[in-house]
Structure 1
């Protein structure tokens, strides 16, 4: 369930169809305490509709776009036709993830003896949704937990639950760096450069392999390509910078996804 009491215009919401009439479908909003909503027949599908039940039926889970919210009347107008397949799949997956995340809070509460409402409140002080918190917990660990006002038993339980249940998808990219130094201590310069590449980047793993002088391969594993690209640029800049400041040369000559 959302922390907000009412959805906003334009928001995508997961609904359960409770009744279908010739002129409209009546639904409840799963994320908003089962508040009732209405999909008029004109918003069911594009084009002329002969039988509304060809498009929607009782008990069905649907993703709708919020057209208008009247809190004084408790009325929510929705559209089914304004949601494309990609939006529907993403919203359903997001909703399922949130359902799982709330169960995980229950597991952490049971293990730690801390009220689940207190755990949820602490997470919501930093995150709008719960599932991204658990993803960050797996990637960043103590950096995330340090921001939460929770006792140690709850912190430990959350970490264990996240480790047991969250499987974060990662991507890997690689780059090849040429580094040369003709100084008497050139070997030490290269070593210092490689050590600089090992600097910790939150949520990113860096692996360096010697390919044969003067080439070194850098592999970066990260949650997404954007983060990976930024990380490999940073690693390359740090490494090459050490060599150049010592009078040598270096360049990133190739990147591969």
Structure 2
């Protein structure tokens, strides 16, 4: 009988066990008197324990208030006994900064794992061997296989030079999966501002200031300005680089502010530059439609008044 090939499960990293002081992501499996039993998600679900005394810096009246079954937690490794299989962990020694870094690393590792597992399952190839031949060598070279995969989207020859793939078919499929899953999607960044000017230049000054901000527009980081309902305007940018888009809109706001204040006007930031969702866009579209409808209604009233005056 042919031996079954494991194409679905494997630890994310080359080391079979984490080291003391490593930050790891775990899933709470069971709560007991001594603490919480957990699965180390990055190490093929091997078991560890968050000791009761290591759950919180505060006095613990109820374990359930600090950990819940099924929830993921970031913890730090206190002790590792590979012979007995004991891994003692702490939650209370993890700072918010440590947790954020650990979650970022975990999400990158999970993305790599998803790609490698898909390829392994499709080609009935052992997942651990795929890690041995591709995943872990790239991690040693680039710090993390995720970083290597990102570069491979545009420069696969550089990334996979010296890597011995199991077959051409596996490598071709790997590159296809990397392209499909890791090619970045454009993000939309938006800022809402109020621009007013009651000096002699008035409307012309507002237009000139907004045009100065829109002049920062480039092909990679576009800048667009739209009127929502005077004096509210929205600045938008759609780009692959979220931070650059945020920085560009921030710069545009400063340019508009300088220009309008020089003309005796004011700028008030209602919403600082940030990424927005389709829901946010839909709400903005409704607001703009409402404003346009009100404008048309006012214009219609003016026409009626004119007719009455003629009569």
The residue number in structure 1 matching 2:170 is 154
TM-score, normalisation: structure 2: 0.49
Once the two structures are TM-superposed, the CA of residue 117 in structure 1 deviates from its matched residue by 4.4
The residue number in structure 2 matching 1:141 is 156
The residue number in structure 1 matching 2:85 is 74
Find the aligned partners of 2:150 and 2:180 in 1 and give their Cα distance.
Answer: 12
**What SS is found at the alignment partner of 1:157?**
helix
Aligned 8 A contact 1:27 1:38 in 2: yes
Task: Map 1:122-201 onto structure 2 (within 5 A).
Answer: 122-123=133-134, 124-128=136-140, 129-150=144-165, 151-167=167-183
| C-alpha distance 16-140 of structure 1, shift in aligned 2 (>3 A) | same
Aligned 8 A contact 1:114 1:154 in 2: no
Aligned 8 A contact 1:18 1:27 in 2: yes
Aligned 8 A contact 2:138 2:145 in 1: no
Provide structure 1 residue ranges, at least 5 long, that are not aligned to the other structure: 171-206, 208-220, 226-257
**What SS is found at the alignment partner of 2:176?**
helix
Find the aligned partners of 1:72 and 1:110 in 2 and give their Cα distance.
Answer: 32
The answer to which structure has the higher helix fraction is: 2
Larger displacement relative to structure 2 (9-18 or 123-132):
123-132
Once the two structures are TM-superposed, the CA of residue 144 in structure 1 deviates from its matched residue by 0.9
For the aligned residue pairs, the C-alpha RMSD in angstroms reads 3.0
**What SS is found at the alignment partner of 1:49?**
coil
Once the two structures are TM-superposed, the CA of residue 90 in structure 1 deviates from its matched residue by 2.8
Once the two structures are TM-superposed, the CA of residue 67 in structure 1 deviates from its matched residue by 0.6
Once the two structures are TM-superposed, the CA of residue 139 in structure 1 deviates from its matched residue by 4.6
Find the aligned partners of 1:149 and 1:19 in 2 and give their Cα distance.
Answer: 42
Q: Max radius of gyration: which structure?
A: 2
Larger displacement relative to structure 2 (33-42 or 76-85):
33-42
Aligned 8 A contact 1:112 1:157 in 2: no
| C-alpha distance 31-107 of structure 1, shift in aligned 2 (>3 A) | closer
| C-alpha distance 36-148 of structure 1, shift in aligned 2 (>3 A) | same
Once the two structures are TM-superposed, the CA of residue 36 in structure 1 deviates from its matched residue by 1.8
Find the aligned partners of 2:124 and 2:87 in 1 and give their Cα distance.
Answer: 39
The answer to which structure has the higher strand fraction is: 1
**What SS is found at the alignment partner of 1:62?**
strand
Cα shift readout 1:45-77 (whole Å, capped 9, x = no counterpart): 112222221111211111110011112221111
| C-alpha distance 60-110 of structure 1, shift in aligned 2 (>3 A) | closer
**What SS is found at the alignment partner of 2:139?**
coil
Q: How many residues align?
A: 176
TM-score, normalisation: structure 1: 0.58
Find the aligned partners of 2:39 and 2:127 in 1 and give their Cα distance.
Answer: 25
Return the match for 1:94 from 105, 110, 133: 105
The residue number in structure 2 matching 1:49 is 60
**What SS is found at the alignment partner of 1:39?**
strand
Aligned 8 A contact 1:145 1:155 in 2: no
